[in-house]
Structure 1
């Protein structure tokens, strides 16, 4: 603290009177002319922490003709409600060179980081001396006049307005605080209600400017946060180049001479600070002005060089520093570049508070007084700081929202990309599935056609050659026939499963007898069970009404066949397989129980998977591809039913199927190619009446098979190779039945049928159409019945039997 023993004046003055003394000191500075040094407390505004040793306010004038020092400290007992202009300060005045030199020494110690300031203050200390008598007298007269006016004001307030002097400031302060709270509430409400950051900032800047009654209010936004600046290693050449550039700037001559540090470490530190400053520079992004006469600084970016000489200015702002400059002309006396910048932007006083987001410096909220100095009050500083805090919340909220939106867009793009990938994969899978289905259909047809010939011809040979072949030869033929049928079953299973998985399988709904169907399957599998030494039994609990059921009887047969065959296969000799059938409301229940090897619990999940047998040892012991149960499950689900299994190892298994009654006799599923290519298990009566049958087929093996089967059944068969010459032959032969291939090359199946019907006396001929595809298109061709390829002997005989029966009935 200063020693006040050399002070000639010590008394209490209002801030108004103190500012009057500032004016007197300014007038004296003009009287002494150039070479004077006039300083106020504003020169300390750039310091992070104000020194405690320096009084709150001061005015210092140093020249060869006149020097003086005026200091002031606010009285602690003053009420916080008092207006700034009415606050009392303890004022001290001295002209003593010793006291002034002591004060200059204190200033020098606080401004030691400012080379120009340190040099200027040292030079000022050296010119101190006695004041010119005339100038001293002139100052004294002005001082006495000012004190006299102060005394008159005090007396007037105490005698004329004893109460108003107390109540009026309190009332005005309360009104201002209410208005301040109202504005803060408006800004806060707007932040809550909107995520549009530009709208929030523009509105807030305009409202705050109007409340503070400033000439200009703006937001200065940095390009990037201070924390993002990374340290860089620099060479000596880089550092020296930096100082050469600095010397070329338009700086004060004294400043240019003092910029070079004393050692290399200081060189590097200054250069790093310079690069750091340049990396985080920004610009004015929002602005509100009192009138259009005030120049706009929107989009303005401060010159980098100006802040190089304000040590760690951005770091101080990051720590919450508030800068209040009453008069830029006195505050930046030691910063010529900054002073020139303030003059260029027409700034006479300014208040700056930082906008901090997550402890990082985002920008500055700045109030400008453009034409005259302004004493910024504490409540104004606090208010602007509160506004900056709320704006920081809005900015952070907007940043989070932007990040969420960006993440949302990124996720949406990823979903779109992933969806496209999945779509492409699905198309590829569908293409592969179609190729697989087409391949299986083609291969099954190509395989089944020769297999059908093998099975059919071997069966025909067995019928014809009774008594003509040795037992060994008949055993060979039987082996060929049985293995051919087994291979055909496997091919049919593979094709049927592929059609089911592709969703192209037809359900041909019809009404049938559950008990009859169950007994037929037992009869069909009885020989196989006897061969393995397994008892095959059946238990049906159905009355006449519940026995009738609506479903696809062919596929219900296949379900029973697969379950019974599976039970027989895995039941050891002496075991038992029983089929139970009953009804539960609209559902038919089919249950197959065996006393076989059972299924381990940990392998049950593999039970209905394709190409699975539960143990490699079983695969060696029991034949099969592992498709039977997988196909059974698909067929059950095709009927919207379900299948369950309960099993115990070495005890046996119970498979239970629930099939709901179908609602219509009309096909309920989409028909597929080759969907009717399954083995016909019904026994055919071969006692047909003699009759002539014409076969129109260009495929030799198929035609040979048909001819052999029908000849063995007692028919007279004529094979016609070409459709072009068939009409004349049919007209001559007058057959009972015409078997016609609808896919003959170069012909139209419908036209062939119409041509046959148009022949004389052939309107009632029965036509059996052979086709690779049984569909609704083929059903309108006019044929009496249809038979899918490849030809199965029993299916062919069954169709012929139906046509012959209809012919007799007619």
Structure 2
């Protein structure tokens, strides 16, 4: 087999030495649990060189070695023996072995399994085996063995040590490349160690400094350019790493004369594969190039070994060994070793280049993210500023328009009463038109003003107790005239028990909600149709339904229903009047009460709008707050006050604790929280430490000083960057626990339940 003939270690051994070597291999296999394959394990050989080759393969992920021996002549008492530890060579041997037995699938599978095992040998196992191998080879031969001269034994021992050291160094370089991305460290260390291993006077790395267009392409792996092509490289590179055996050897670091270092031998030697190019004596090789020879003599180069460092299919540089004072007969294993080192250095360089590109792309991406984030922040700030300006503008304009409109409406009504007898029918119609138009405009302006106040957070709820049935009757009575003109039937469906008739909310805003819904229902219901107002109440929830037999809403337009200034029939000649503000304002008022609104609609059949409002447990003072207590009942676990200006955090906390049975009162501002908490008497308070209107330390201090609230359980919400500081805060200023943003629902519920259960036990 060709692969056996090209292995680096090849020596004739006596039968006794071969037996000892086989015993050593089996001992190693037993120690590490390795797979063993010999010629005895093969199917019947098909008449080939395998008949005279004996081999033993030890394969594992920790240590692998291939031993083969055969007799070159029956007259000789020795056998030619080869030995290798290289995974690629072992895999190639197994591949060639498998080609002899294509008709044996089980054996082919065994070969495939063994090919996957060999890796770089463990350094400790390699050293142990090497010492034992040297002991075998240096043992004096028996009397019947062939006599070997002491010089040959010594030479064999020296050669073996050198080859094993090369294998060790190759493994070491490979391991270093895998574990490190520090290219300068890898290259400098490799230069030092390879020079020592090859025992040369000087070893250098020559870096070609070429643009992409000038970079020579390696046409075949590990081959070189022609001599003429190398001559064109003058001045396009330099020596970047160097190792010398002594200071007496002149340094060539940063030399840039490319032709002096990289000139190749005759073109016929370029066809050799997997070998560095060897020049045994420059005085003989370059006898006809006196200029080049003169430079090499000045640099003290007598013999050299050159291996290309190729990345992809482009030449990056050269790994060059120099013998400075005498010619040198470069051995096969030395040429092959330098070439292998150059290939591994190419991997390290490619790996470092990819890492550099990755880091650059990472920095570029991070910068783009920062820039994009800043752009989005600026856009958001501009949008918020524009929205505030819009709301303030609408509020100011609406306020200024209401005064003259009130005068117009009042004076037109007064004129109609004072001069009713002296006015003609046409004049009375004019005055009525003025009054109706003014009232319509005033309604629109009031809606705009209310909407802008809600969006700006300036609308306050005037909570009071009232009768749901009476409010529903008054509201429906106000629409009798409009329903009569539109020939629409109005119905009231009260499903209220006496104990559930009383409710706490802002009655004026609740009536405004029902007004908007009933006005839309009558407007979109054809003549002869019916509009029904249904009111239901439970112990903790009030439900209002407005059902019509109107035109209905297409399903794809339902998401647009509560948008501002939006009518679903948005053509120029619209059949129905309106600005599209009514439902948008309705939704805002419902949510301000802590409730929600739903709609069900079938096109051509009608729509049902359902408003659900939670029932507060106490009449609260006027404040900017939101309440979520939709699941509160007699079995509720208690009330918790949340002081949080960030809506995302508040939504999460309200959803989790409401689902767990707590009543949540959400306050947007902390400045008036102490008085409200004293009235509410909750079992716990959750407060953000970064409230815009009050310092959290002051808030906690006030709660602890107040006799009515000093026993409350207090949980603070802190940013993740200040956890350590907030732990100190809650220990020194009275907070019982803290939550870190972003808030985890399981931590939230766990901490709240732990504190509130302690409260229940204590009470």
- Provide, for residues 64-103 of structure 1, a one-character-per-residue CA deviation record: whole Å limited to 9, x for no partner: xxxxxxxxxxxx9995769xxxxxxxxxxxxxxxxxxxxx
User: Residues 216, 272 of structure 1: CA spacing in aligned structure 2 closer, same or farther, 3 A cutoff?
Assistant: closer
2:300 match: 346
Alpha-carbon deviation of 1:652?
0.7
Cα distance between partner residues in 2 of 1:290 and 1:503: 82
Structure 1 residue 195 and structure 2 residue 195: aligned?
A: no
1:302 match: 257
Alpha-carbon deviation of 1:424?
2.8
Matching of residues 37-436 of structure 1 within 5 Å: 79=80, 162=148, 169-224=155-210, 228-229=214-215, 277=233, 281-303=236-258, 322-436=276-390
- Provide, for residues 301-335 of structure 1, a one-character-per-residue CA deviation record: whole Å limited to 9, x for no partner: 1256987898999x979997732122222222222
Alpha-carbon deviation of 1:297?
2.3
Indicate conservation of the 8 Å contact 1:613/1:619, yes or no: no
Cα distance between partner residues in 2 of 1:319 and 1:174: 24
Alpha-carbon deviation of 1:459?
4.3
Any stretches of 5+ residues in structure 1 without a counterpart? 1-75, 83-156, 232-268, 672-810
User: Residues 331, 430 of structure 1: CA spacing in aligned structure 2 closer, same or farther, 3 A cutoff?
Assistant: same
Alpha-carbon deviation of 1:535?
1.5
Cα distance between partner residues in 2 of 1:512 and 1:316: 103
1:536 match: 490
Indicate conservation of the 8 Å contact 1:317/1:361, yes or no: no
Cα distance between partner residues in 2 of 1:462 and 1:619: 33
SS at match of 1:396: helix
User: Residues 282, 175 of structure 1: CA spacing in aligned structure 2 closer, same or farther, 3 A cutoff?
Assistant: same
Indicate conservation of the 8 Å contact 1:306/1:338, yes or no: no
SS at match of 2:254: coil
User: Residues 621, 288 of structure 1: CA spacing in aligned structure 2 closer, same or farther, 3 A cutoff?
Assistant: same
Cα distance between partner residues in 1 of 2:234 and 2:457: 69
2:568 match: 614
2:524 match: 570
Max Rg structure: 1
SS at match of 2:448: helix
2:557 match: 603
Alpha-carbon deviation of 1:430?
3.0
1:495 match: 449
- Provide, for residues 139-161 of structure 1, a one-character-per-residue CA deviation record: whole Å limited to 9, x for no partner: xxxxxxxxxxxxxxxxxx99996
- Provide, for residues 10-67 of structure 1, a one-character-per-residue CA deviation record: whole Å limited to 9, x for no partner: xxxxxxxxxxxxxxxxxxxxxxxxxxxxxxxxxxxxxxxxxxxxxxxxxxxxxxxxxx
Cα distance between partner residues in 2 of 1:318 and 1:633: 84
Relative CO higher for 1 or 2, CA cutoff 8 Å, sep ≥ 6?
1
SS at match of 1:333: coil
SS at match of 1:297: coil
User: Residues 169, 418 of structure 1: CA spacing in aligned structure 2 closer, same or farther, 3 A cutoff?
Assistant: same
Indicate conservation of the 8 Å contact 1:227/1:360, yes or no: no
Alpha-carbon deviation of 1:603?
2.9
User: Residues 504, 192 of structure 1: CA spacing in aligned structure 2 closer, same or farther, 3 A cutoff?
Assistant: farther
- Provide, for residues 469-506 of structure 1, a one-character-per-residue CA deviation record: whole Å limited to 9, x for no partner: 66665554443222212111212223333444455554
Q: 1:593 aligns with which of 514, 522, 547?
A: 547
SS at match of 1:621: coil
Cα distance between partner residues in 2 of 1:308 and 1:351: 11
User: Residues 503, 320 of structure 1: CA spacing in aligned structure 2 closer, same or farther, 3 A cutoff?
Assistant: farther
SS at match of 2:326: coil
SS at match of 1:574: coil
Alpha-carbon deviation of 1:273?
5.4
TM norm structure 2: 0.56
2:40 match: none
Cα distance between partner residues in 1 of 2:410 and 2:596: 37
Indicate conservation of the 8 Å contact 1:567/1:594, yes or no: yes
User: Residues 513, 166 of structure 1: CA spacing in aligned structure 2 closer, same or farther, 3 A cutoff?
Assistant: farther
Alpha-carbon deviation of 1:537?
1.8
1:747 match: none
Matching of residues 436-447 of structure 1 within 5 Å: 436-447=390-401
Cα distance between partner residues in 1 of 2:337 and 2:148: 31
CA RMSD between the two structures: 4.1
